[in-house]
A and B are shown apart, each in its own frame.
Chain A
Amino acid sequence: MADLVQLCVAGVSIGAIYAMAAIGFVLLWQTSNTINFAQGEFVVLPAFAMVLFFVIFRLPFAVAMLATVLVSTLLLGVGVKELLVARLLKMGVLPLVIATIGLSLLIRYSLQQFWTPLALPFPAIFSRDPIRLGTIVVSLEEIGNILFAAVVIGALQLFITRTKLGWAMQAVAQNRTLASVLGINVSRLVTITFVLNAALTAVAAILIAPVYLVKYDIGVSLGLKAFYAAIIGGFNQIRGALLGGLLVGVVETLSAAYISSHFRDAFALVILIAVLLLKPEGIWGVKEEWA
């Protein structure tokens, strides 16, 4: 029984990380119909930036974090939107998908070639000392990840539902044409969404780096899990991404322990396929109107 709790804590902790990556993914899809195949790399790049600012330049943590978020929002937010998305959006879904695949390869191989193919260590943000609660052992790192993610997601939810900008984003998500008729500058809003996504992935990178270690290819599985999480939870709701992330994390961990480690990657997939066939909009999703 203690093991079960231990596993759930681990699952939720890793799930919180998946959720952070999934949320930005959902936001991008909602406001700009972008399926960002490079979402995993959007986390990897800021992770390397953090190594640069915090480990190599030895800047204070808060300054390094700020610098990372800045770099991320400029390159992956504004940069990607203006150079790629703005041009490709009107061509349909597929060219943009291929372009983001190309982008993910570009980021991945550039980091590998110009920085290092090896994994880099990253100092832990929260303490790793074991805290014993009976037979269950957790550390501040698990708890910290969960709390941090909860705070960020909560803040985001407030932003979306309580601010004018948030309402504008919701409007664009529901019906782009109508929103622009109502006077919303859709293009500017899409840029803001991309900036928001880049900021989110930068924050996720800081949480992920100590756990994943910083390596050029950690984006591959992370991006995939973000996909699963977004779809399972609900592709058009932030809390859906949260639920999806937690579900994927917990299912992965529990099934590896109790069912089969050989098919570890399959269980989340089975749930994914079941959700897609039974309730395609996701568990907490809302049916999309195909305007």
Chain B
Amino acid sequence: MALGRLGLVAVLVLSVGLPIVLDQYKLYVVSLTLVYVILAIGLNLTLGYAGQISLCHAAFMAFGSYAVAILGRRGVPFEVGLVVGVAVAFGWGLVLGFPALKVKHHYLAMVTLGFNIIVFLVLRNWESLTGGSFGISNVARPAWGPLSFKSDRAFYLYILAWATVAVASAYWILSSRWGRAFRAIRENEMRAEVVGVSLRNYKLMAFAIGAAYAGMGGALFAPLLGYIDPGAYTLDRSIQFLMMVVLGGLGRFEGPFIGALVVTVLPEVLRGSEGLYLIIYALSVILMMLFMPKGLVGLWDLAWRSSRSRTSPSTSSGSPR
């Protein structure tokens, strides 16, 4: 990977040190960005690496959020809630993988879109379980006996820990044969099948694993906000994640980081222009697609190439690109 071991350690140390220097607003934005990174990693896996269009990422996120919120209300420890949420998301990801076997591209997009809307409707109407439109407040943050992660700073570190797990596990998956199989499917399905890649299992896994990450992100999202309602898990949210992943760079490991950063931080930076910033944001999206259709990771590559010596080795075939 581009950063090198020492660089990674430096980033980690700085990330851990951030809560000391940042005020509660900026810390919140960074925490939210980290959560979105986890979600973007999942979608990047499904869409970027395996080429399966998923427009229901927010629904998988909802499973994580509501699992943690509902179980937390009954006193279940946060980590258990997270695992349950991830498992539910994984399960539904498998279910959604089956249509992916039958249909492709825009058809698959429609099935996932439909799933997202149906999940939203169920969340809204199943009042006894989810609180319906009124949502669930005071979602509990994790606590290990006397050690509580309730404070914003402590919870930020907690999120950082899970984000590291997500990044590391994604790296591992993509370096393994799974990663190679996903990329083979993305490039050319027929050829992959001929070469012996069991399309069926890998496609199902691409959906399921991507969904699992979304579940994890959702589980961390709920206590960060403190209050969840069905409105946070609509089609708009799924489209937001789609934008993150494409803007960042599909099928590139750095993509989710860049995408999450841009989509979360850009509106905050542009906030000074009052109502105009959404228009500027929309314009930027169009322009970015016109001039950098492979995503902003192209800029990253450019910056990287100019600061490296010509003789340094490029990324080996085994690591994710």
- Seen from chain A, the residues whose Cβ lies within 8 Å of a Cβ on chain B are 29, 35, 84, 87-88, 91-96, 98-99, 101-103, 105-106, 109-110, 112-113, 224, 227-228, 231, 235, 262-263, 265-266, 269-270, 272-273, 276-277, 280
Contacts and interface: CB of A to CB of B under 8 A. Distances in A.
A99 B115 CA distance: 24
B5 interface: no
B13 interface: no
Given A84-B290, A88-B293, A265-B121, A276 B247 contact: no
B11 interface: no
B117 A265 contact: yes
B12 interface: no
Contacts of A106: 279, 282-283, 286
Contacts of B285: 98-99, 101-102, 105
Interface in B90-131: 99, 102-103, 105-107, 109-111, 113-115, 117-118, 121, 124-125
Contact of B293 (A35, A91, A110, A227): A91
Nearest to B126: A262
B250 interface: yes
A105 B106 CA distance: 20
Contact of A84 (B103, B113, B115, B286): B286
Nearest to B102: A277
Contacts of A99: 285-286, 289-290
Contacts of B107: 231, 276, 280
Contacts of A227: 110, 113
Given A95-B293, A98-B242, A273-B111, A113 B275 contact: yes
Nearest to B275: A113
Given A224-B235, A227-B110, A276-B107, 10 more contacts: A35-B109, A88-B290, A88-B293, A101-B285, A109-B275, A227-B113, A231-B107, A262-B121, A273-B99, A277-B102
B290 A276 contact: no
Given A95-B246, A262-B125, A109 B290 contact: no
A95 B278 contact: no
Given A103-B286, A231-B107, A94 B275 contact: no
> Do most interface residues of chain A lie in helix, strand or loop, or is the interface mixed?
helix
B243 A109 contact: no
B281 interface: yes
Contacts of A113: 275-276, 278-279
Most buried by B among A29, A87, A99, A112: A99
Interface string B265-286: 0000000000110110111011
B111 A88 contact: no
7 contacts: A94-B246, A101-B242, A101-B285, A263-B121, A272-B110, A280-B102, A280-B103
Interface in B52-111: 99, 102-103, 105-107, 109-111
Contacts of B293: 88, 91-92, 95
Nearest to B99: A277
Contact of A105 (B124, B247, B278): B278
B103 A277 contact: yes
A2 B279 CA distance: 48
A102 B290 CA distance: 11
A20 B286 CA distance: 26
Nearest to B287: A102
Interface residues of B, number: 36
A105 B281 contact: yes
A113 B280 CA distance: 12
Contacts of A91: 293
Contacts of A35: 106, 109
Contacts of B114: 269-270, 272-273
B239 interface: yes
A109 B118 contact: no
Nearest to B243: A98
A251 B106 CA distance: 23
A266 B121 contact: yes
Contacts of B279: 106, 109-110, 113
Contacts of B247: 98
B293 to A, nearest CB: 4
Contact of B289 (A93, A95, A109, A228): A95
Nearest to B110: A231
A87 B283 CA distance: 16
B118 A269 contact: yes
Contacts of A277: 99, 102-103, 111
B231 to A, nearest CB: 14
A98 B106 contact: no
Most buried by A among B114, B124, B125, B242: B114
Contacts of A92: 293
A216 to B, nearest CB: 12
Contacts of B113: 227
A109 B282 contact: yes
B199 to A, nearest CB: 15
Nearest to B289: A99
Contacts of A29: 106
A99 B30 CA distance: 27
A209 B209 CA distance: 45
A87 B290 contact: yes
Contacts of B125: 262-263
Nearest to A93: B105
Most buried by A among B106, B125, B235, B289: B289
Interface string B289-321: 110010000000000000000000000000000
B51 to A, nearest CB: 10
